Amino acid sequence: MPSPIHMPKLGLTMTEGTLTEWLIDSGETVSQGQPVASIETDKIETEIEAEAEGRLHQLCESGEVFECGVVLGWILGEGEEPPEISEIPEVKNDEIKVSEQNVIPEKKTKTGRIAASPAAKRLAQEKGIDLSEISGSGPNGRIVVEDVEEFSSNKPSDSIPKLTDTDASQAAVNEAQKLGIDLRKVQSSSSDRQIRKSDVQAHVKNSAGSTEEKSDTFFVEPIGEGERIPLSGMRKVIASRMHSSLQAMAQLTLHLDVEMDNAISLRKEMQSEDVLPGYTDFVIASVARALRAHPQLNSQMLDGEILQLNEINIGMAVALDEGLVVPVVRNADQLSLNEIAKNTSRLASQARDGKLALADLEGGTFSVSSLGMFGVDGFTPVINPPNSGILGVGRIREDTAWDDQTPRKASRMIISLTWDHRVLDGAPAADFASTIKSGLENPESLITVN
């Protein structure tokens, strides 16, 4: 019996994944347990292994996004052929049922996107053609350039809207280019039917309430020639999440100077420790204690209510060549400074080696991001959804402090707290940041668990 290759569900929050690459060509023989494809979620990259021995038959193209449970391909035995769609039973994969309609992608992928080659999409955009009207002739119904050209040649020329010099004023053209609006979608309000700047602005205002409309009308022409780099994989996920974060939350940032002399002295005394805590470990320890005292920041905004979470799990941003991952120090408020250091050392090493487990990336309730190692004094971090706050950490710099009228050298560091103003106001946010500052300036309190 043919053995299916599913898009796996790797965690409770995973709903879809990207098929990044087939590791074995279609038609080649594979053994049980052999990696056949690599996939990427919004958290990790991993491989799918064959559950049987046989001949690989690919159904889906790499680079596309598919829902959990979708059949990506088959392992076929001697003389077997891939089943027809009507023969494929519903599959329960961690309580996700795969129905007939989402087993094999046709024109639309599982996220509702049109399955089309990049060249076909560009050509359709240039010609003002709606891809949903085209039947694809490529693998699994994928639309290719030839499909767009054929559709364009058969479509009446008057059905494709074109703009002449008199259709839009120069001010309207300039405004549309600035806002990324396709002028062909803008309605004129004047008697001479010419599109004016006010029409473009009204179009933006009217479409602001609809996410679908906004994505439809976002139309950007390249301003010059250059290398085109597809937005995919981890970079695509980060772009989507950060853009969504800024759109969905009322984010504000405050900055505080922290004197780090005591932390520097204490760290020198800890040189004999198995794992020497870094300054980020001091920050994580202080943040964890502060969250226990200020649970509003350890929360999540839901529909009409705020959920204050029981666990305090601190996400630690780790920069990789291809993007950013945020492994999690679980129950950080219950760990000593040394235990936190051991956790962060392991997580950072596994992150850079690409060996993080899904459990290392899930459940974060607050995040810490440091750019101090790059010489950055301060910055405005963006909240990692669904958290309600994130702390940015700058470099430790030499500064001057004053004891009455006497100057002295001091080592200082800027911490930057970004929080969701829907969850709490500025005064309690400042109080939370001050608690972090106090912990760092009195680091002996971080060594053990209170």
- Whether 425 is a known active-site residue: answer yes
How far CA 79 is from CA of 1, 54, 442, in Å, comes to 10, 10, 72
Domain harbouring 60, CATH code: 2.40.50.100
Residue 297 maps to a domain: yes
Which pLDDT score, from 0 to 100, does residue 273 have?
A: 82
Q: Among residues 431, 322, 418, 411, which one has the least CA distance to residue 368?
A: 418
CATH of the domain at 439: 3.30.559.10
Residue 152 and residue 134: Cα distance in Å, rounded? 10
Residues 166 and 292 in one domain: no
**Do residues 194 and 93 share a domain?**
no
Return the SS3 of 299.
strand
Does residue 123 fall inside a structural domain? no
The pLDDT, as a whole number, for residue 378 is: 94
User: For residues 374 and 395, what is the distance between their CA atoms, to the nearest angstrom?
Assistant: 8
Instruction: Tell whether 186 and 252 lie within a shared domain.
Output: no
pLDDT tens string for the chain (450 positions)? 889 999 988 766 677 888 888 999 999 999 988 889 988 876 677 889 888 999 999 999 888 888 888 899 999 988 888 887 544 554 544 444 333 323 333 344 443 456 666 566 667 766 778 777 887 776 556 677 778 888 877 765 444 344 554 577 766 776 665 565 677 778 888 777 788 877 877 776 676 544 444 444 445 667 788 888 877 666 777 777 788 888 889 999 999 999 999 999 999 999 888 889 999 999 999 999 999 999 999 999 988 899 999 999 999 998 887 678 899 999 999 999 999 999 999 999 988 888 888 788 888 999 999 999 999 999 999 999 889 999 999 999 999 988 888 999 999 999 999 999 999 999 999 999 999 999 999 999 999 987
Residues 202 and 265 in one domain: no
- Residue 375 falls inside a structural domain: yes
> Does residue 393 sit within a domain?
yes
Residue that terminates a domain, selected from 54, 71, 102: 102
User: Is 421 labeled as catalytic in the residue annotation?
Assistant: yes
Same domain, 278 and 398: yes
Q: How far apart are CA 218 and CA 393, in angstroms?
A: 35
User: Is the CB of residue 311 less than 8 Å from the CB of residue 362?
Assistant: no
Catalytic choice (94, 130, 243, 421): 421
Provide the number of structural domains found in the chain: 3
| Spatial distance between the Cα atoms of 224 and 175, rounded to a whole number of angstroms | 19
Assigned token pair, 213: 């409309």
Same domain, 394 and 256: yes
- The per-residue pLDDT for 15 is 76
Give me the long-range contacts of 343-348 (CB less than 8 A, separation at least 24).
344/278, 344/280, 344/281, 344/284, 344/316, 345/275, 347/316, 347/318, 348/316, 348/318
Does 327 share its domain with 206?
Answer: no
Token pair of 239 as six digits:
């772009």
Are residues 251 and 398 located together in one domain of the fold? yes
Radius of gyration of the chain (CA): 27
Both 262 and 305 in one domain: the answer is: yes
**pLDDT at residue number 177:** 58
Domain residues for the domain of 167 are: 161-221
Are 361 and 248 in the same domain?
yes
Catalytic residue among 303, 377, 425, 431: 425
**Are 212 and 260 contained in the same domain?**
no
Residue 68 lies in a domain: yes
The C-alpha atoms of residue 397 and residue 129 are separated, in whole angstroms, by 57
pLDDT computed for residue 180 by the predictor: 59
Is residue 181 located within the same domain as residue 313? Answer: no
Rounded to 5°, the CA angle 110-41-384 comes to 110
DSSP code at position 137: -
Kindly state whether residue 54 falls inside one of the protein's structural domains: yes
Print the SS3 string covering 343-379.
HHHHHHHHHHCCCCCHHHCCCCCEEEEECHHHCCCCC
Which of 102, 136, 171 is the C-terminal boundary of a domain? 102
- End position of a domain, from candidates 102, 122, 143: 102
- 403 belongs to a structural domain: yes
Residues near 207 by beta carbon (within 8 Å), at least 6 away in sequence: 213, 214, 216, 217
Would you say residue 147 lies in a domain?
no
